[in-house]
Amino acid sequence: MKSTPYNLVMSALYKGKKGERPPAVNVTSIVCHDLMDAAGVSFPQAHLDADAMAELALAGHEIVGFDTVMPEYSVNQEAAALGCEVDWGSRDRMPDSRMFPYADFSDVVVPENILEKPSMRVVLDALAKLRRHVGGKVAIVGKVMGPWTLSYHMAGTQNLLLQVGLGEKDKIVKMLRQLMPVTIAFAKAQFQAGADIVVIADHATGNLVGAYHYQQYLLPIHQEITAEIEGPLILHVCGNCLDRLELFADAGFDGYNFEWQVDSRIAVQKVGHRICLVGNVNNPQTLFQGTPEDVRRQVRYAVAAGVDMIAPECAMPLATPMANLKALVAATHEGY
Amino acid sequence: MADILEDIKLAIVNGKHKEIEGLVQTAITGQVDCNRIINDALIEGMDVIGKKFAGGEIFVPEMLVSALTMQKGLAVIKPLLKAGNSQSRGTVLMGTVKGDLHDIGKKLVVMMLEGAGFQVVDLGVDMSAEKFVDKVAEVKPDVLGLSSLLTTTMPEMQKVISLMQERGLRDRVKIMIGGAPVDARFAQKIGADGYGKDAFEAVQLARKFISSN
């Protein structure tokens, strides 16, 4: 097998042939100020303009050296299309939404033309541009929000979690099921537009909810989603999710992007034979505040543990030094 | 009397938000001292919850329901507390730093601190260093709690502490920090007095600060 970025990523996803080295991937945003300056593209433009979005994604491969390009940097594309007022932030601040249109858990109205909404269209157009640039050479990664995350945006995080605590299962499941089609439709559209892999980010975060919550509310939904979408899917859930790794494998995902809080060796031991493991270099202490040697050490630990694809654990802090991102890539080039 | 206090404590632990008002009223009718209801039942219940959360037995949904139960119980008692009768453990000023809109962790800390008998002034989110320091001068809290969920906003915590030093206020208040990207090493680096990894630790820290004053 030729050790091209595309081959390395797709083979690792299905635990196939190993090439000369493990792939270095970004399944969450790796955009930082250094990368914006190097690419000549900044926020908020890159959230809203397809050319800017694609340009910045390409820079992740051409300048930093990742084996993937991933054009979505925020978690708000669907929320904006569903009626949230999104503040698209600035060079120093990620987008955020303070308005929760379904805080009362009334029926969610999903526009029929949701894929044509500007915040959705921009991602699809960017993926198509990336396909033309690097299709078949570099793995193109799309990203969608899962129904749990979308419920946070629709109802408010604290509100949703309070309803979980109050045992309002019918209310919550209704909202999840009304939002599930958005996740499925956007993921399918991203594959059609040119994505090779789609990340589903669904923040049933390890430090917010328990494995029992995931099992009760979200596992059945995820199983339906993975059954419905034909293309390869990587799940991203933040936090210490050691207690639910097997459930993620049960959900039918092809890969799981995990955090440094979960020891790579234990993760591989538990589910390495069932699911592609993607991760797990620490963001705040290592990539943001650490040295290139700190980064290298964590990469080599993960490689030795048997992690399939090396990646940051989560979306990159904007002030991360690009030298540390390059160190991550360089450490994978040392091979197995 | 011990039985009703135990019932109230268990109601907090089990999130019985529909029963708590009746239970507290029963205790009041039974001539139980209000401060005993607060300290020996409501606060003790929240302490149990805090330990369970820190131990990973329960998560944020259960914490929120217990906190709601606590607030409902307190609401029955508060009108009966005259000024001077309520034994506040101390005053804590809390806020999320500038550029950061996340507040669920901070709100949990606020709830736990109130549950533990502290008077808490919650400044909200996206608070500049100047606003924090102005409020410290105005409110004169015992403890200042700074929250940050984003690595990009961590440096704001340093700004708050530096400005406190400039204005000669640093020695008048203990500063604790919390949030996903920070840790004890960062707290030491910026000159904070402590770091709490979760709401339970934050309460323990606040208690320690007050008792050392």
- Tokens read off for A91: 């060079």
CA distance A177 to A180: 5
pTM over 0.95: no
DSSP strands (E only) in A149-294: 197-201, 233-236, 255-258, 276-281
- pLDDT confidence of residue B50: 87
Contact predicate A169/A216, CB 8 Å: yes
Query: Would you call A169 helix, strand, or coil by DSSP?
Result: helix
Give pLDDT tens digits for B77-97.
Answer: 888 876 555 567 899 999 999
Whether A228 has a pLDDT exceeding 80, the answer reads: yes
- pLDDT confidence of residue B82: 60
Mean pLDDT check: name the lowest of A5-9, A47-51, A96-100, A270-274: A96-100
Contact predicate A14/A309, CB 8 Å: no
The alpha-carbon radius of gyration of chain A (Å, integer) is: 19
- pLDDT confidence of residue A103: 96
Give pLDDT tens digits for A153-199.
Answer: 999 999 999 999 999 999 999 999 999 999 999 999 999 999 999 99
| Full set of structural domains in chain B with CATH | 2-80 (1.10.1240.10), 91-212 (3.40.50.280)
Contact predicate A254/A275, CB 8 Å: yes
Label residue B199 by pLDDT band (50, 70, 90). confident
Please give the CATH topology (third level) of the domain spanning A5-332. TIM Barrel (3.20.20)
Q: Which of B74, B25, B181, B61 is nearest to A313 (CA)?
A: B181
Q: Which of A93, A100, A95, A200 is nearest to A142 (CA)?
A: A200
- pLDDT confidence of residue B86: 55
How far A22 CA sits from the closest chain B CA (Å)? Answer: 28
- pLDDT confidence of residue B17: 97
- pLDDT confidence of residue B107: 87
Put simply, the answer to whether B61 touches A164 (Cβ < 8 Å) is yes
Residues 108-147 of B with CB under 8 A from A: none
Label residue B115 by pLDDT band (50, 70, 90). confident
Label residue B204 by pLDDT band (50, 70, 90). very high
Put simply, the answer to whether B59 touches A213 (Cβ < 8 Å) is yes
Cβ neighbours of A318 in B, within 8 Å = 152
Put simply, the answer to whether A94 touches B150 (Cβ < 8 Å) is yes
Nearest to B61 among A98, A213, A319 (CB): A213
Q: By the CB < 8 Å criterion, does B199 face chain A? A: no
CA distance B96 to B127: 6
Over residues A305-325, the mean pLDDT reads 95
Residue B185: Cβ-neighbour burial (10 angstroms; 0-12, 13-18, 19+): exposed
Which helix (H) or strand (E) segment holds residue B76: the answer is helix B60-77
- pLDDT confidence of residue B101: 76
Q: By the CB < 8 Å criterion, does B104 face chain A? A: yes
CA distance A202 to A238: 8
Whether B100 has a pLDDT exceeding 90, the answer reads: no
- pLDDT confidence of residue A211: 97
- Tokens read off for A248: 């993620």
Q: By the CB < 8 Å criterion, does B54 face chain A? A: no
Share of chain A above pLDDT 90, in %: 95
CA distance B49 to A228: 40
DSSP strands (E only) in chain B: 91-96, 119-122, 143-147, 174-178, 194-195
- pLDDT confidence of residue A93: 85
How far A247 CA sits from the closest chain B CA (Å)? Answer: 18
Buried b (16+ CB within 10 A) or exposed e, A213-224: bbeebbbebbee
Whether A294 has a pLDDT exceeding 70, the answer reads: yes
- pLDDT confidence of residue B83: 53
When comparing pLDDT for B38 and A108, which is higher?
A108
Q: Of A75, A76, A158, which to mutate for an interface test with B (greatest number of B Cβ within 10 Å)?
A: A158
Contact predicate B175/B117, CB 8 Å: no
Give pLDDT tens digits for A94-122.
Answer: 898 878 999 999 999 999 999 999 999 99
The alpha carbon of residue A206 and the mean position of all alpha carbons in its chain are separated, in whole angstroms, by 16
CB neighbourhood size of B130 (10 A)? 13
Give pLDDT tens digits for A200-224.
Answer: 999 999 989 999 999 999 999 999 9
CB neighbourhood size of B84 (10 A)? 6
ipTM value for the complex? 0.93
- Tokens read off for B39: 């300290």
Place of tokens 């990368």: A35
User: Which residues does residue A330 pair with via DSSP β-bridges, in sequence order?
Assistant: none
Over residues A133-148, the mean pLDDT reads 98
How far A289 CA sits from the closest chain B CA (Å)? Answer: 9
8-state DSSP, B172: G
Put simply, the answer to whether A319 touches B152 (Cβ < 8 Å) is yes
Nearest to A284 among B63, B65, B151 (CB): B151
How far A206 CA sits from the closest chain B CA (Å)? Answer: 9
Interior angle at CA A194, CA A86 and CA A147, nearest 5: 40
β pairing state of A309-312 and A276-281? parallel
CB neighbourhood size of A124 (10 A)? 21
CA distance A195 to A136: 11
How far B97 CA sits from the closest chain A CA (Å)? Answer: 13
Q: By the CB < 8 Å criterion, does B80 face chain A? A: no
Query: Would you call B146 helix, strand, or coil by DSSP?
Result: strand
Share of chain A above pLDDT 70, in %: 100
Task: Supply the mean pLDDT for chain B.
Answer: 90
Cβ neighbours of A319 in B, within 8 Å = 151-152
Task: Supply the mean pLDDT for chain A.
Answer: 96
Whether A256 has a pLDDT exceeding 80, the answer reads: yes
CA distance B142 to B100: 24
Q: Look up residue B77 and give its amino acid.
A: I
The alpha carbon of residue B208 and the mean position of all alpha carbons in its chain are separated, in whole angstroms, by 13
